[in-house]
Amino acid sequence: MQENRTEDAGGVVEAASSASTTSHSLIDDATEYISLNFSDANALAMRVWMSLRRTSNIVFYDLQASLREHRSVTPPTLILLLILDMFSPLEYRELTRISGMNRAAISPHIENLSKRKLIRRKPSPRDRRTEIIEMTEAGRAAFAEAFTVYNERAEYWADNLTVEERSELSRLLEKLVSNVPPDEDTRSGEIEL
Amino acid sequence: MQENRTEDAGGVVEAASSASTTSHSLIDDATEYISLNFSDANALAMRVWMSLRRTSNIVFYDLQASLREHRSVTPPTLILLLILDMFSPLEYRELTRISGMNRAAISPHIENLSKRKLIRRKPSPRDRRTEIIEMTEAGRAAFAEAFTVYNERAEYWADNLTVEERSELSRLLEKLVSNVPPDEDTRSGEIEL
DNA sequence: CCACAAAGGTCAAGACCTGAACCATTCAGA
DNA sequence: TCTGAATGGTTCAGGTCTTGACCTTTGTGG
């Protein structure tokens, strides 16, 4: 259940109405604060959510920074390149569906990648409204290089968990959103990086 | 509204389509793709990260939407209000540290909340460079209302897990970033919503 | 064959965050 | 005491995403 680590020195809690506890982290404090002051609220649900947000943001900031040094690929384009690397000749609208990115958000990235010859755009023989996006060799190389850097940082963070814990974490995360219909308008994609 | 793309050159697409019996999700496919095509990569680390991103984004979008209807509080201000509700007379710089928000990002929100009388700003007697931020009664009421709505949606998602699973998920998430020093420049706060 | 609604991609406006520059205040060391 | 470095908050430029609009193309029913 709850681990008890007493080696903390945070201590900004003096103004909190529930001060003078052995403070482990501010998430602990916030969870306790919520359960005490908002009796109708679900404190454990908030704890899950606060942990999720905090972990996601910390790791994402770090991974993003790892890409910044290699200026060739930015985070939003990395996921597009992954999807294209998997499904290379792909219609534009499939790219938006799988990535979950807004089509208005995707548009400039496609334009940019096309200019840099990392992808190729071809008219679709089936529907003149849409386009077919294709990876170039340069695109595959750029993706492989950026992805390697990205993955190294992901591995650095994952090393904090055992292999069993990693699997369990993935399972729980995927179960948490298992009730999302596949094409729900969640502004969120099937794959994200 | 057609779902089949038989004329696509890439046969991989069918494996990702919802009609397939063996395919569970695109995260499964991507994990397998990575382990097959990037032998040096850590596929499980990427799976953890993809699950984390996807879950975080899906839930965040939904929680954000729940606030949109109540126009009084926006997501970025909600976390500031939570922190102030906990520690009410608080120095500006502590607010930035705990929330993890960039001080440049906080500044306009503080200005906005102050204009709407949800918080009060006072000069600090200790250091004329900083200010002391104080919650008003209107601020506490606005936070309580918005937080209730927010928490209801968080509980909706958490209901997909058993109570034991929620605790385990929080534990694993917090362990994943347990090696972050407390005041590291991670651009991420002690508490986040 | 011809409206007309629906869908695909682009554009414009608005919100938010980041990094860097700026100015005032504080603090440490000569 | 004085001077230069560090700190706290603000402002500005740059970048990304979202929503809503627009225009073109497609498909459907009269």
Q: What is the pLDDT of residue A188?
A: 72
Q: What is the pLDDT of residue A185?
A: 61
Q: Do A158 and B45 touch (CB under 8 A)?
A: yes
Q: What is the pLDDT of residues A84-138, one digit of tens each?
A: 999 988 998 899 999 989 899 999 999 999 999 999 998 888 788 888 999 999 9
The tokens for A56 are 């996601």
pTM comes to 0.85
Distances (CA, A) of B23 to A97, B2, B12, B15, B131: 17, 19, 11, 6, 56
- Count the alpha carbons within 13 Å of A20 in the hemisphere toward its beta carbon: 1
Candidates A7, A44, A67, A90; CA nearest to B161 is A44
Which phi and psi angles does A105 have, rounded to 5°?
A: -80, -35
Q: Do B151 and A41 touch (CB under 8 A)?
A: yes
User: Which of B9, B25, B175 has the CB atom closest to A161's CB atom?
Assistant: B175
Distances (CA, A) of A132 to A73, A89, A135, A144, B9: 21, 6, 10, 22, 10
- Residue A69 — very low, low, confident or very high, per pLDDT cuts 50/70/90? confident
Cα distance between residue B44 and residue B55, in whole Å: 16
Q: What is the pLDDT of residues A37-53, one digit of tens each?
A: 999 999 999 999 999 99
Q: Do B55 and A169 touch (CB under 8 A)?
A: no
Rounded mean pLDDT of chain B?
Answer: 85
Residue B77 Cβ < 7 Å to strand D: no
Cα distance between residue B170 and residue B150, in whole Å: 18
- Residue A61 — very low, low, confident or very high, per pLDDT cuts 50/70/90? confident
Cα distance between residue B103 and residue B187, in whole Å: 10
Distances (CA, A) of B108 to A116, B71, B77, B103, B161: 37, 17, 10, 9, 38
- Residue A146 — very low, low, confident or very high, per pLDDT cuts 50/70/90? very high
Is residue B7 over pLDDT 70? Answer: no
Q: Where is average pLDDT lowest: A9-23, B26-40, B54-68, B90-104?
A: A9-23
Residue B101 Cβ < 7 Å to strand C: yes
